[in-house]
Amino acid sequence: MKNLNAELYANELLELWAKKNHLLIAEDKLLSKYLVDKTKKVLDVGTGGGRLAFYLEKKGFVNISAFDIVPKMIDHATRVAKETNSKIDFKVADAVNIPEYGSDEFDYALYLQQVLNFIPNDQGFKASLKESYRITKKGGLAIFAFLDYDSRFFNRPFSATLNILRKIREENVSMQRLPWIKINNKINWNLFNRDQALSYWVKKDAILADLKNIGYTILEVKNANQFVNTKTKSRKGMLYVVCKK
């Protein structure tokens, strides 16, 4: 199966993500709360241009590995690493299957900026969750950010409209797989066409059940807006889940 999201990251979204370097509020709070030991082994999954990996190295972490499915992202990160004498170990790999990394290898595994939601099929998505558990040490942490289906009010009518089209076109696609509305800040005018890059939007209860079934203990679950307004029950932005193996 073609990976249209990987193609987007290798082309239209390359520059944007290769060069990103600021942290979101939620990321800042989660990293400072949970990544407390700078001697521990960190894996940054779907690292892009190495935004989080370089940030952690600057903070004093000394044992960082990072990978991305898009070779051009890793070329960029490796170039920056050379220029800055960074010791981060960058590789090209697909989160669905990472034999490049050993079982129980990492104390902290980061799956931030919804990397896994770009995996183009449900089987691959589930396999990537299992891989996250395999490579995390017993007692170690895996921190995920997911696209949350119920964080956007229009996802249900959007899915319903798409489902009508998909039925007419005899496509068998889950309602949780939605096309990009904007790509690189430009409206995706082709969003109702066939053969779109689709992102997988998780349902909160289902993803928490999947993570528990794999063996994780859930330590914290919050949407992005709840890091800013700690009292709100509304859910906006990414769903962050902190798991302990």
Ligand X SMILES: C[S@@+](CC[C@H](N)C(=O)[O-])C[C@H]1O[C@@H](n2cnc3c(N)ncnc32)[C@H](O)[C@@H]1O
Kindly list the residues in this chain that would bind ligand X in the complex (CB under 6 A).
Answer: 5-6, 9, 17, 20, 46-48, 51-52, 68-70, 73, 94-96, 112-113, 115, 118-119
Chain Cα centroid distance, residue 12: 18
Work out whether strand 198-200 and strand 177-179 pair parallel, antiparallel, or are unpaired: antiparallel
* Least distance CB 207 / ligand X (angstroms): 17
* Least distance CB 148 / ligand X (angstroms): 15
d(CA 187, CA 100): 37
* Least distance CB 212 / ligand X (angstroms): 23
**Nearer Cβ to ligand X (118/216):** 118
Q: Which helix (H) or strand (E) holds 220?
A: strand 217-223
Q: Which helix (H) or strand (E) holds 108?
A: strand 106-111
Q: Count the helices and strands in the chain (H runs, E runs).
A: 9, 11
**Alpha-carbon distances of 86 from 60, 166, 239, rounded to whole Å:** 11, 47, 31
* Least distance CB 167 / ligand X (angstroms): 28
How much of the chain is in helix, strand and coil states, percent to nearest 5? Answer: 40, 25, 40
- Cβ proximity of 40 and 108 under 8 Å: yes
* Least distance CB 168 / ligand X (angstroms): 30
* Least distance CB 78 / ligand X (angstroms): 14
**Nearer Cβ to ligand X (78/163):** 78
d(CA 122, CA 125): 5
**Nearer Cβ to ligand X (14/243):** 14
* Least distance CB 53 / ligand X (angstroms): 9
Q: Beta-carbon neighbour count of residue 137 at 10 Å?
A: 16
**Nearer Cβ to ligand X (24/161):** 24
**Nearer Cβ to ligand X (95/162):** 95
**Nearer Cβ to ligand X (5/176):** 5
**Nearer Cβ to ligand X (25/160):** 25
**Alpha-carbon distances of 61 from 94, 139, 215, rounded to whole Å:** 24, 19, 27
134: CB partners within 8 A, 6+ apart: 103, 104
